[in-house]
């Protein structure tokens, strides 16, 4: 017997749970990126040496914003097909933003250590 029912209601509930997780986390990550940009500007002003990290964090904030908006609208829309489409956008942009944030962390670490 399968422990995971494949009914439409269970798939919809799973999608809504995913969107309910992505929306607040992505919104918080926009704030993290903006804080990082501010701290980088202070650090680079003191060292008089710029990095590409603040540009990466700016792009990252936009990706997190797209993920947050897609998950928010996926929760607001009633059409089942659109829910899956928006949820897919939220998933992909959230993962891309997390990968970019990791890259930005490496750039920041390298810039601070040298």
46-76 pLDDT, tens digit per residue, is 666 667 888 888 899 999 999 999 988 888 8
Q: Give the closest residue to 114 by CA, choosing from 63, 18, 41, 43.
A: 43
Domain boundaries defined on the chain? 18-113
Q: What six digits make up the tokens of 33? A: 């990126």
Q: What is the pLDDT of residue 65?
A: 93
Q: What six digits make up the tokens of 99? A: 């990968």
The C-alpha atoms of residue 66 and residue 60 are separated, in whole angstroms, by 10
The C-alpha atoms of residue 29 and residue 19 are separated, in whole angstroms, by 15
Query: Which has more confidence, 89 or 51?
Result: 89
The C-alpha atoms of residue 100 and residue 56 are separated, in whole angstroms, by 7
Instruction: Calculate mean pLDDT across residues 4-14.
Output: 53
């Amino acid at each position: 017997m399968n422990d995971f029912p494949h009914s439409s209601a269970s798939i919809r509930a799973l999608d809504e749970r995913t969107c309910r997780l992505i929306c607040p986390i992505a919104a918080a990550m926009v704030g993290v990126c903006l804080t990082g940009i501010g701290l980088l500007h202070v650090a680079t002003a003191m060292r008089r040496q710029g990095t590409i990290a603040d540009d990466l964090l700016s792009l990252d904030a936009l990706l997190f914003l797209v993920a947050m908006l897609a998950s928010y609208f996926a929760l607001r829309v009633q059409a089942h097909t659109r829910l899956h489409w928006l949820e897919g956008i939220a998933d992909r942009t959230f993962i891309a933003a997390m990968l970019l944030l990791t890259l930005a962390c490496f750039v920041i670490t390298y810039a601070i250590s040298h």
